[in-house]
């Protein structure tokens, strides 16, 4: 592949989806879906988005999917099953989305083993932390005393997040950013190999990453809600482009 060809390569970014009851027109069915703004972010950043609906992970299913991906985005959604990190459910914790948990944990495990770039968004950051042995605060208001991070009724809160100097995230977005948040859970004990790359003014962990060359980043906020700022989408797409180019070469 020539340099000119590789610079035009559009990497394929897999994006995990919801699996729950949904209504459209006269239909009220169990469905896989993802809000359009997620894959708009990938498209605008120069990537090709493919949706990855939860499905059985018997055998090599996840590996065969990953064979065809250059990057992985684990998207927002319901709470991770607390059994994953050795806790009983809090009264405010969602009913477990077991099919989605199994699927995303399998995809993430394979992606980390291969060095596929990973971006976790909200729930995705919590999946990343839990998969690496960390734990979660199941109901953040119990810890910080307010509901600013999840106001309810689909109203996002704006948090002032401060990055940690020297992290990948700091190199991407600078010292601080206004983040669109909608989460009632948060990272508690860090997973193995992760470092904190941002906190908000309450001290809540708002981003984690794996140090080093591999692109593995989880943000507790929703970058897809601000498509006028594509820095995180561009970062994962560019990392995926490098992965794809090296794989072809």
Check: CB of residue 11 under 8 Å from CB of residue 241.
yes
On whether residue 5 sits in a domain, the answer given is no
d(CA 26, CA 220): 35
On whether residue 141 sits in a domain, the answer given is yes
On whether residue 30 sits in a domain, the answer given is yes
DSSP 8-state secondary structure symbol assigned to residue 85: G
User: Which are the contacts of 71, defined by CB distance < 8 A and separation ≥ 6?
Assistant: 11, 12, 13, 14, 47, 116, 117, 118, 119, 236, 237, 239, 240, 243
In 3D space, the residue among 214, 181, 212, 85 whose CA is nearest the CA of residue 198 turns out to be 181
* Mean pLDDT, each 10-residue run in order, the chain (249 residues): 56 97 94 96 98 94 97 97 97 94 98 98 98 96 80 77 97 94 93 98 96 96 95 98 90
**pLDDT value at residue 151:** 66
Tally of domains within the chain: 1
pTM summary value: 0.94
β-pairing, 18-24 with 27-33? antiparallel
On whether residue 41 sits in a domain, the answer given is yes
Question: Which residues are designated catalytic?
Answer: 122, 222, 224
On whether residue 4 sits in a domain, the answer given is no
On whether residue 117 sits in a domain, the answer given is yes
Q: Which helix (H) or strand (E) holds 101?
A: helix 98-114
Check: CB of residue 180 under 8 Å from CB of residue 151.
no
Tell me which residue range forms the domain holding 140: 12-248
Check: CB of residue 184 under 8 Å from CB of residue 92.
yes
**pLDDT value at residue 1:** 39
d(CA 50, CA 73): 10
Please report, for the domain that includes residue 22, its CATH number: 3.40.50.880
On whether residue 6 sits in a domain, the answer given is no
User: Which are the contacts of 236, defined by CB distance < 8 A and separation ≥ 6?
Assistant: 13, 45, 47, 71, 73, 117, 118, 119, 215, 217
């Amino acid at each position: 592949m020539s340099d000119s060809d590789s610079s035009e390569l559009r990497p394929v970014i897999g994006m995990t989806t919801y699996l729950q009851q949904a209504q459209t027109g006269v239909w009220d069915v169990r469905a896989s879906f993802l809000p359009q703004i997620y894959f708009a972010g990938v498209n605008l950043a120069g990537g090709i988005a493919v949706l990855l609906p939860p499905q059985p992970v018997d055998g090599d299913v996840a590996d065969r999917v990953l064979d065809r991906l250059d990057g992985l985005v684990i998207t927002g959604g319901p709470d991770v099953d607390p059994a994953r990190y050795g806790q009983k459910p809090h009264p405010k914790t969602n009913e477990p989305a077991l099919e989605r948990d199994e699927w995303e944990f399998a995809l993430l495990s394979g992606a980390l083993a291969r060095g596929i770039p990973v971006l976790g968004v909200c729930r995705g950051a919590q999946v990343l932390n839990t998969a690496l042995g960390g734990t979660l605060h199941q109901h953040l208001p119990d810890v910080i005393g307010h509901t600013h991070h999840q106001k309810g009724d689909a109203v996002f809160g704006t948090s002032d997040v401060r990055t940690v100097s020297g992290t990948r995230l700091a190199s991407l977005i600078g010292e601080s950013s206004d983040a669109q948040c909608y989460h009632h859970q948060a990272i508690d004990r860090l997973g193995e190999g992760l470092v904190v790359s941002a906190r908000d003014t309450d001290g809540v962990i708002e981003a984690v990453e794996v140090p080093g060359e591999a692109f593995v980043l989880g943000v507790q906020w929703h970058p897809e809600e601000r498509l006028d700022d594509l820095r995180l989408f561009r970062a994962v797409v560019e990392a995926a482009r490098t992965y794809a180019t090296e794989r072809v070469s």
